[in-house]
Structure 1
């Protein structure tokens, strides 16, 4: 019995030791697991992106998907993304030729690609795709795309027609309204511009709408409001290409008010955000020329022209060369301008405005008058009024020229934009028609708005003002 009790006690003691050992070992394993878990969690937290950027928790969407979002939202898209989107939609409509939505996206992407690259060959493709979409099914997306395409071609009457049809079909769809704003502006219908912007802001908010509002504010002479809206648009942009577009417009606005350094900063930032932002490269050329750095300005213009050969850039570069006494280089650029206008016309683009400006100053003023009269009949906007008035002046028809120059600078009828070139044109026409007092006032205003508005014409404005002399002192009437 004693042995049995002893064995039992020993067995219990051994069993107790075994349970205690197991508890110790279990605690150790739990501690190791907890430490390991904390290490893994800490590593994971270090790998996560900073808070405040929820979209970055997932992988960035493919370029084509980014472009699809941009096209659908009516905002600028990156060129590589547009190319990817075009390939994807071309493949899709081959498989599904009755997919009206895909045809509309494809046509709108073609139009945006043509606008960004100044390659007018994309425009007939865009029109074919958008009309195919309408044949399959009448839809507001295709109608709005046709309106945007017509604006890119500077055919504002057609843009107005398509845009109003899109609005009538779906009054609550906001994407038709930006195209209507461009169309009404091109046609000089400033009351319609105001109504359309008001309706757009009721339907939508965000960077794209702010940028559209900024353009209207600028045209009404509200430069501070325009600058604030563009700043907010750039801050709220969701993609680099979109932000770059708004920064480029902010640079334009800064240059127009004579702030060369700020304009250059905006243009540089736009190019950093999107190296394919060629309008910002041309803007850099403009600002660098104003800063007295012509060699850098020439390089910037050439970079822009290499990827976006717009006639306006060739005209500006040619005038820069001319201001430097490089007549041969200037003539080469003017030849490129003519070729670019012809190529654009083949794609249905109306470049009569820039061609008329060129002819007035560097070619045949009578031809410029003929071209710009026809342009005025098609689309009587402020830009055309200014160009036609200047062409008439260069052709020796100052009285009629004055009428159009006043339209371009008349706040009552929509010409509220504060433009140094417009004021320069008005002042020169007044000078040559014997209106010395008003000529002096408007030439001073041109140089006050932007003392560096053109490397070629700013010195001419200064010389004309010097020739007019000071305001004569006159005695009191008897």
Structure 2
């Protein structure tokens, strides 16, 4: 599945020039945005290859340069619907790559202007709206816009990526797999292969996930694609409990793209797992200084906390809270990351409120796990176990999910199940969290006495 080449008769539709002209350079280059597989979208992340929009943060910012060029063009031709749609897409990408959600209202304004000029056939702006709504974690709306765009242009691979991302976050995994297959058939490049990798990863098939990313690396058209593939190979190695390979892949990616913040963050995670905590702190600090993505800020805070640097950890947690307020003020719905943060570091009641709301707008595996954990810290372990069932329903090999389940089972008095789940977490990845992995080891030791 996913790795076959598209039929020969479709090849003329896949030329870069044709696709870029038809959809707009922004959507073509961003691989559909939305939750495209590169850090910076939301999933926490765990995302996505979460199915989240990821792109290397670099010192020389091509997105900013393209925004400036589009703004100049629109001063000359303010009723250029395609340019407006493309500018909206670039604003969405800039919001993700800079962790600045104030670009989302800007994106909505220019996308609506574009749609007002061309309502019927404007799939550039429709795709932009899908990406915008995905960025704001409004996935039902993202799904609607993606379908509308595809109805206008059913041969654009990037639009199927946006559709797949929305379906994934809405828990429609079979529909997401179908959309990814269509994307691969149309254009078997880095964005489609990364999504195919994620589909396999969600189902616990890490071998296929690595194969897809290896093929993406082989097919890489330049340093950016190489860095993209190395990042995902690093993530797959790390989550599979192999930090040495994760470090090798991250460093290979940094050789291809030395200014990639995402790869700097990936290297830090591997360094921490290998006991190189000084290097990890240095790399994560640089990543946060470059691009203060909430996931980077939280990762640095938890690393500080694990090292007993409580003042430094508190500073990062304060930044994370401020970022959540800024995201909310700009229309982004909070879900799993915010819920887990409150459960681990803040207010249990708020964690549960966020998690319950998040499951409504984003019934994804991560959201079920976050709700399970929020229920646990509020003493509602029976309901928590049911949510944990949903988080693990696809067979995803996620150490944090199994750790949460193990703690829930222990709270319910299910000693044998608790031992099994905690052992499973540490078998999958003994370094899954600088805070929770040691807790898992201690709990397992206590249960086996």
TM-score under structure 1 normalisation?
Answer: 0.80
Of the three residues 185, 190, 200, the one matched with 1:207 is: 190
8 Å CA contact 1:245, 1:277 repeated in 2:
no
When the two chains are superposed, the root-mean-square deviation of aligned CA atoms in Å is 1.9
Look up the match of 1:300: 283
Look up the match of 1:286: 269
Equivalent residue runs for 1:31-430 within 5 Å: 71-75=27-31, 76=55, 80-138=61-119, 139-411=122-394, 416-430=395-409
Q: C-alpha distance in 2, partners of 1:319/1:468?
A: 26
Tell me: CA distance 1:69–1:105, structure 2 relative to 1, closer, same or farther (3 Å). closer
SS at match of 2:292: coil
1:177-233 per-residue CA deviation (whole Å, 9 max, x = no partner) reads 111111111111112112212222232222221112111111111111111111221
- Per the TM alignment, residue 80 of structure 1 is displaced from its structure 2 partner at its CA by 2.4
Equivalent residue runs for 1:15-30 within 5 Å: none
- Per the TM alignment, residue 273 of structure 1 is displaced from its structure 2 partner at its CA by 2.4
- Per the TM alignment, residue 73 of structure 1 is displaced from its structure 2 partner at its CA by 4.3
8 Å CA contact 2:26, 2:90 repeated in 1:
no
More deviation in 248-257 or 273-282?
Answer: 273-282
Look up the match of 1:468: 447
- Per the TM alignment, residue 457 of structure 1 is displaced from its structure 2 partner at its CA by 0.8
Q: C-alpha distance in 1, partners of 2:219/2:91?
A: 26
1:16-63 per-residue CA deviation (whole Å, 9 max, x = no partner) reads xxxxxxxxxxxxxxxxxxxxxxxxxxxxxxxxxxxxxxxxxxxxxxxx
8 Å CA contact 2:334, 2:358 repeated in 1:
no
Q: C-alpha distance in 1, partners of 2:254/2:113?
A: 36
User: Which of structures 1 and 2 has the larger relative contact order (alpha carbons within 8 angstroms, sep 6+)?
Assistant: 2
8 Å CA contact 1:389, 1:402 repeated in 2:
yes
Q: C-alpha distance in 1, partners of 2:414/2:318?
A: 37
Q: C-alpha distance in 1, partners of 2:115/2:259?
A: 32
Q: C-alpha distance in 2, partners of 1:370/1:80?
A: 38
1:390-435 per-residue CA deviation (whole Å, 9 max, x = no partner) reads 1111111111111111111123xxxx22000000101110011011
- Per the TM alignment, residue 70 of structure 1 is displaced from its structure 2 partner at its CA by 6.6
SS at match of 1:175: helix
Higher-Rg structure is: 1
Q: C-alpha distance in 2, partners of 1:255/1:425?
A: 19
SS at match of 1:226: helix
Q: C-alpha distance in 2, partners of 1:307/1:114?
A: 14
Q: Given the alignment of the two structures, is residue 456 of structure 1 paired with residue 435 of structure 2, yes or no?
A: yes
Tell me: CA distance 1:324–1:73, structure 2 relative to 1, closer, same or farther (3 Å). closer
Look up the match of 2:49: none
8 Å CA contact 2:26, 2:86 repeated in 1:
no
Q: C-alpha distance in 1, partners of 2:214/2:108?
A: 34
8 Å CA contact 2:96, 2:135 repeated in 1:
yes
Look up the match of 1:39: none
Structure 1 unaligned residues grouped into runs of 5+: 1-64, 471-478
Structure 2 unaligned residues grouped into runs of 5+: 1-20, 32-54
